[in-house]
Amino acid sequence: REQKACPFGVPSLVAAGPRPPPPPPPHPPRPAASLVSAQSFREEDDRARLAAMPRTASPPLVVVLLLLLLVAWLSRCASPARQRAPLPAAPQQRGLFPAVLNLASNAIITTNATCGTKGPEMYCKLVEHVPGQPARNPQCRICDQRSRNPNLRHPITNAIDGKNTWWQSPSIQNGMEYHYVTITLDLRQVFQIAYVIVKAANSPRPGNWILERSIDGVNYQPWQYYAITDTECLTRYNIPPRTGPPSYAKDDEVICTSYYSKIHPLENGE
């Protein structure tokens, strides 16, 4: 055997012996016409192959319309300056109502008379003196502003402390001057009052009394009159009574009512 190198440089092994005959010469080059014909055949084959391939279907018309609408919507969003701003709403004529607060809790309250200011006093509930009923186990208590026992003291500050306590006025048996008692509530600034609530404790609501108001704390003006009966609105205050639940034609109207001066309930009335 002998070793020879192939044209690519890769060694190969062949059997020793006579050499094979040389390969026949390559075919002679075809004329230009045959090259052109082969090219034309190749182009025809390509066209036939292309004709045989399936065509891609065109998008449906609905999809095209949706795309057009989407493009139009995007173009409008991209140019907000072209959009017309909504017209402002017409102003409405209405009042401003701030939050309602309990003004009494921060006020300064004073009075000209309190039970037990000069020493121990006795007071009894009015329920024990109802005509026609015997007084059994009379509910009478002692009030004393000087006592160390807080249960015997009933100062005016108890009326606004928010606790289950009360202010006790002197008994009329100590003098008729205690038939007229004044309570002053200083709000310490000007407020717009929505409503006034006065709650009684261990006695009926006051019968005849006047609710007044003041801006400077010196000059007071009547705000509302209260009477036991409608007749007393005329006899005491010379004002026609407003029958039924109080109603007002104007904000600054001063009326007289007996709606909140009934003797019942005997306790915890408003």
Tens of pLDDT along 110-132? Answer: 999 999 999 999 988 876 555 55
> Per-residue pLDDT tens for 191-217?
888 889 999 988 889 999 999 999 999
What are the structural domain ranges in the chain?
100-189, 195-270
Cα–Cα separations (whole angstroms), residue 146 to 111, 117, 118, 120, 223: 17, 7, 8, 8, 35
CA nearest neighbour of 209 among 233, 185, 176: 233
Contact 139, 124 (CB under 8 A): yes
> Measured between alpha carbons, how far is 116 from 144 in angstroms, rounded to an integer?
4
> Measured between alpha carbons, how far is 222 from 253 in angstroms, rounded to an integer?
10
Superfamily in which the 100-189 domain is placed by CATH: Galactose-binding domain-like (2.60.120.260)
| 157, pLDDT greater than 80 | yes
pTM: 0.61
pLDDT at residue 85 in the model: 59
**What does pLDDT average to over the chain?**
74
Q: Residue 43, SS3?
A: helix
